[in-house]
Amino acid sequence: MVESIGDVGSILGCFQDLDDPRSTVNRKHLLGDLIVISICAVIAGADGPKAIGVWATSNADWLKQYLELPNGIPSHDTIGRLLAVLNPTAFQKCFENWIRTLRTDNESVDDQATAGKDEVIAIDGKALRRSHDRKRDLGPLFLVSAWSVQHGISLGQLATEEKSNEITAIPELINNIDVSGGIVTIDAAGCQKTIAEKIVDGGGDYILALKGNQGNLHKAVEDICTRQLENGFSDVIARKHQETIKGHGRVDQLTYYQFEATKTLPGASKWKGLRTIGVAIRVSTEGDKVTRDVRYYISSLRLGVKRFAHAVRGHWGIENTLHWCLDVTFREDESRLRNRHAADNIAWLKRFAISLLKQCPDKESIAMRRRMAGWNTDYLAQVLGLKGT
């Protein structure tokens, strides 16, 4: 639980450098008040400006304990206008200190499950499926997110109009977050030389998945792996790790191989920091059905197959720990916000809400914690890390 925030003043301090984009004419509400209301409401179950306004009106007495509210509770129109003009990048930037506090508090906890393991930063994209706007010829908004797997914290996001723009969005997202000392995992869309270089220059390591988009490299790695598996890795230094995962009626047998990148790998010298090649083989059994999946990776990691396995498994987990939660608990795919800035800002608030809810020390699910925050303002105060409530 975040205990270093202390009071709403500390929260407001995170946004003191944020430029207020609103017109000065008839500006009746403080920027900080509007932001705190939006954060609280999204944690408590709101999914858009209308719901944020209704939640604020319903909890006016509680809000007055913490905020100045010189002209009372703002309307949902006021909140909607603010979210539509706030610069998403600047807005996220203001959360940096808060996020840093969450990561620091997490690192101070003696958690045997994560102690001594590298921080895995999974970068992946997700579409807001119903956010399209046919009148303006706009497809669904596509968000590229950075997720700290170990800490359960959203580190940042960047919006693009098309999934194909993910390649250009990832380097910018990396610029906005701290990757030093971490292992950055990205699926095949982000397997680009410039991205690998940016991660290494930022002080991190990378594990990049390979698919057909890296035609020659993918084919070469696949051929090398097949040849090495056939000869028992007799001519390279290799490591192997196996594990079994059971759950929901399915059994996954996972086998990981990692070996040094050979000098004959086409274009190896053009990938900054490239040291190893990895293979992850998953055999899944569910009833009578057996499926097999093989994935190939290039990485800047030194030999250490358990580190490699931990990072790859962590990246797979982003679907369950973030995307599934966004779709099922926060119903993100149902968002009909047409304004791109508003949709981007609400999406960020949802990711940050998940980050805060995951820090709670109880054993309830994220869905139940969110309900409890909506039912009980004392619990909401605990989620925010407020003292003396």
The DSSP bridge partners found for residue 295 are 280
SS3 19: coil
Q: How confident is the model at residue 2 (pLDDT cuts 50, 70, 90)?
A: very low
Residue bearing tokens 């990832």: 170
- Tell me the CB-side half-sphere exposure of residue 28, using CA atoms within 13 A: 9
- pLDDT reported for residue 160: 82
**Ordered DSSP codes for 291-305:** EEEEEEEEESPPS-H
Q: What is the pLDDT of residue 25?
A: 87
Which tokens belong to 236? 């390279």
115 alpha-carbon distance from chain centroid: 21
Query: Which domains, and CATH codes, for the chain?
Result: 8-86+359-384 (no CATH), 103-324 (3.90.350)
What span, in angstroms and rounded, lies between the C-alpha atoms of 379 and 90?
Answer: 29
Looking up tokens 């946004």 gives 15
- Per-residue pLDDT tens for 177-231? 999 999 999 998 889 999 999 999 999 999 999 987 677 888 899 998 888 888 8
- String of DSSP letters for 110-161: --TTTTTPPEEEEEEEEEETT--BGGGTB--EEEEEEEETTTTEEEEEEEES
Computed over its alpha carbons, how large is the radius of gyration of the chain? Answer: 23
What is the percentage of the chain residues whose pLDDT exceeds 90? 57
Q: Give the model's pLDDT for residue 1.
A: 38
pLDDT at 4: 46
Cα within 13 Å of Cα(301), Cβ side: 28
- Cβ proximity of 253 and 204 under 8 Å: no
Which segment of 92-101, 122-131, 144-153 scores lowest on mean pLDDT?
Answer: 122-131
Kind plus residue range of the DSSP H or E element containing 381? helix 377-384
With residue 31 as reference, give the H or E element that holds it: helix 31-43
Asked if 271 and 207 touch (Cβ cutoff 8 Å), the reply is no
pLDDT at position 115 is 44
Over residues 327-366, the pLDDT tens digits come to 888 888 777 676 788 989 999 999 999 999 999 989 999 9
**Residue 117's pLDDT is what?**
65
